[in-house]
Structure 1
Amino acid sequence: MAAKTVTIESKDYVFNTLKEAQNYYDAIVKELYNAKLTLTTGQDFEDLKWIYSTYCHYTKQNLDKLSNSDITGFKGISTVREKGGQYIPTECCAIIFSDSSSNCTEEEFFTDKALKEIAIKQNPR
């Protein structure tokens, strides 16, 4: 089975494998979590925004949220994820949305799951 590449169009970059892309963005999320930072500008912000938007369009999920709100930031959070019947603490992104009335909401976002979906769509069999 051939490795799936992942093209991040926001910076016109191709990762040679899905795992390489997942590790790269996982490190960004962990850094945000450990430093308790919120990412609001820059290339990493644009990349995460592109990944989330592309994932939503591919899966037809949260399209109403994308059209009615602006993504204003990303931060690292701790959550519990089910894997193989076990619940494991893990870090993930929280996307910060702002709507026209300046209300802010947050939503969990797993970059590894989104990148996997993007790789599947970019590399159909």
Structure 2
Amino acid sequence: MAANAVTIKNSDHFFPTQKQAQKYYSGIVKELYDTEHTLTNGQDFEDLEWIYTSYCGYTDDKLDLLKDTDITGFKGVKTISQNSGQYIATECCVVVFSNGTEEEFSVDKAVKEIANHQKV
């Protein structure tokens, strides 16, 4: 099975494999968590915004929220997820909206969905 390449279209950032894209953006989320920083501008912000909105478009998730409010930031939080019956603490990305709401989202899942749609 061939690895899926991923292109982050707003910046033409190309990753030869989905795994490389996931590792890169998960690293950004981990850094946001470690520094307790909210990303509000710059290329990483624009990339995460494109990843999130593309993912929502592909999955029809949160489209109403995106119509009614703007994304103002991204931050990293620790979340607990269940995997094969075990609970694992991992860093997760949170989208911050202009109306004050926040939504967790998995960068890994979003990149996987994008890679699946970019397959030739």
TM category (shorter chain) comes to over 0.9
Alignment counterpart, residue 108 of structure 1, candidates 86, 104, 110: 104
| Structure 2: runs of 5 or more not aligned | none
Q: Report 1:71-82 matches (<5 A).
A: 71-82=71-82
Q: Report 1:17-36 matches (<5 A).
A: 17-36=17-36
1:57 and 2:57 aligned: yes
1:122 and 2:118 aligned: yes
* Matching residue of 1:5: 5
Per-residue Cα deviation, 1:76-104 (whole angstroms, up to 9, x for no partner):
00111121222111101110001xxxx31
Give the Cα–Cα distance (whole angstroms) in 2 for the partners of residues 109 and 10 of structure 1. Answer: 20
Percentage identity across aligned positions? 60
TM-score (norm 1): 0.93
| Structure 1: runs of 5 or more not aligned | none
Give the Cα–Cα distance (whole angstroms) in 2 for the partners of residues 46 and 116 of structure 1. Answer: 18
* Matching residue of 2:66: 66
Give the residue type in structure 2 aligned to 1:77. Answer: V
Q: Which runs of 4+ in 1 moved over 2 A?
A: none
Give the Cα–Cα distance (whole angstroms) in 2 for the partners of residues 72 and 7 of structure 1. Answer: 23
- Secondary structure, aligned partner of 2:44: helix
Give the Cα–Cα distance (whole angstroms) in 2 for the partners of residues 73 and 46 of structure 1. Answer: 10
Calculate the aligned-residue CA RMSD, in Å: 0.8
Give the residue type in structure 1 aligned to 2:97. Answer: F
Matched residues, number? 120
Q: Report 1:80-95 matches (<5 A).
A: 80-95=80-95
- Secondary structure, aligned partner of 1:87: strand
Give the Cα–Cα distance (whole angstroms) in 2 for the partners of residues 71 and 60 of structure 1. Answer: 17
Give the Cα–Cα distance (whole angstroms) in 2 for the partners of residues 121 and 86 of structure 1. Answer: 31
